[in-house]
Amino acid sequence: QVQLVESGGGLVQPGGSLRLSCAASGSILSINSMGWFRQAPGGERELVAATAGGTTNYADSVKGRFTISRDNAKNTVYLQMNSLKPEDTAVYYCNARIRNHNWITNTYWGQGTQVTVSS
């Protein structure tokens, strides 16, 4: 059993910053990739940022403002969000591709954390 637990969401004014964290726990042999998606009201879930094998990629809308990082020792991924805009308002979901001790690889999702950017 694998769990992803997110933290760090909240309400912030435009131009402000937030840092999201997502910790993976459970039967983990290895983590292939970790990333963040978001879903705004009435919208589809979209990729925000992801990291795998030392490489990272970002949605065009967040390049230069968001930074994804990973602490392998803690099985944790972070999303530093700066210069936040109202259009960044969404529920943010952590995502990970994890191989368990039965050598089975699955995709896991966190429960989601609300980020609201408003004055």
Q: What is the torsion angle, in degrees rounded to the nearest 10, for the CA atoms of residue 105, residue 55, residue 8 and residue 60?
A: -110
Query: What is residue 76's predicted lDDT score, i.e. its pLDDT?
Result: 97
Strand order in the sheet with 2-7: 2-7, 18-26, 76-81, 66-71
Q: Which residues touch 87 (CB under 8 Å, ≥6 apart)?
A: 40, 61, 117
Which pLDDT tens digit goes with each residue over 61-99? 999 999 999 999 999 999 999 999 999 999 999 999 999
Query: What is residue 28's predicted lDDT score, i.e. its pLDDT?
Result: 95
Task: Find, among 44, 43, 61, 48, the residue nearest to 6 by Cα.
Answer: 48
Instruction: Evaluate if residue 54 carries a pLDDT over 90.
Output: no
Considering the chain, what percentage of its residues have pLDDT values greater than 70?
100
Which pLDDT tens digit goes with each residue over 27-43? 999 999 999 999 999 99
